Each structure stands twice: as structure tokens, then as C-alpha cells.
Amino acid sequence: MHELTKEDKAHRDDMITRLDAASEKIAAQTEAADEKITELNDSIQEYNNVLKEVDQFADEVVKRIEDYAGSKSEGWKEEKGDVYEDWVTHWSNINLSPMDLIEEVVLDDMEHSKELADLPETPES
């Protein structure tokens, strides 16, 4: 074989065209996805802000429980102290880990059509 046939060149050109078209669709869809990710991150940030409020609320509840239990007599503490300690433990150990923000869509290079187009058609080219 000394060079690509007409059919080979036509097939190559068709694949280049299809790769380019698919690449353009991917680029447009990636842009749309990035916009949705921005909206999603706004909602995640709103959620995380509420979690901060929940954390402050839980701290306040724990402090009030501890103040209440701390003001009671030794007899009361012996009778009900463990129950209140458990209550504090539940309020202190609530999982309030914030959600991570989503990264933007990152795609590999889509240079395949260019690489295909740049392949030599003959051994000398």
C-alpha cells in the first residue's frame, strides 16, 4: 500500500466530521452542566449555612441542659443525672458535617479528530 485509498480518505473524513460534531455537543452539554453545578453549589451552600445554625442551636440546647442539671441537688443528680448526661451526649454528637461543593465538569482533551486528520496519507508525508 502506497497511500490511503479514496474510500479510506472518505471514511477518515467522515469520522473526523462525526468526532467534531460529538465534541461540539459535549462542549455545549458541559457548559450547561457547569451552569447546573453552579445552581447546585448555591443550594449546597444554603444547606451548609442552615447546618451552621443547627450547630449553634444544638450548642445552646446542650448549655441549657447542662445549666439545668448543674443547678440540681446531689440527690437529683444521682437519680436523674445519667439520663441528662445521655441527653447531652445525643445533642452533642449530632452529625453536622457540611456537604462538599461539586467541582466543575472536567473532560479529557478532545483532540482525536485533529490527530486523525494529521496522520500521513502516504509513507512520505
Name the more confident of 124 and 8: 8
The secondary element (H helix, E strand) that includes residue 32 is helix 6-70
Q: What pLDDT is attached to residue 125?
A: 61
Nearest to 81 by CA among 90, 72, 89: 72
Query: What does residue 29 show for φ and ψ, rounded to 5 degrees?
Result: -70, -35
Report pLDDT digits (tens) over 62-121. Answer: 999 999 999 999 999 999 999 999 999 999 999 999 999 998 888 888 888 888 888 888
Listed by start position, the domains of the chain span 6-94
Q: CA–CA separation, 81 vs 109, rounded Å?
A: 64
Q: CA–CA separation, 48 vs 63, rounded Å?
A: 23
Q: What is the mean pLDDT of the chain?
A: 93
The secondary element (H helix, E strand) that includes residue 79 is helix 74-92
pTM: 0.69
Arithmetic mean of pLDDT, 30-43 = 94
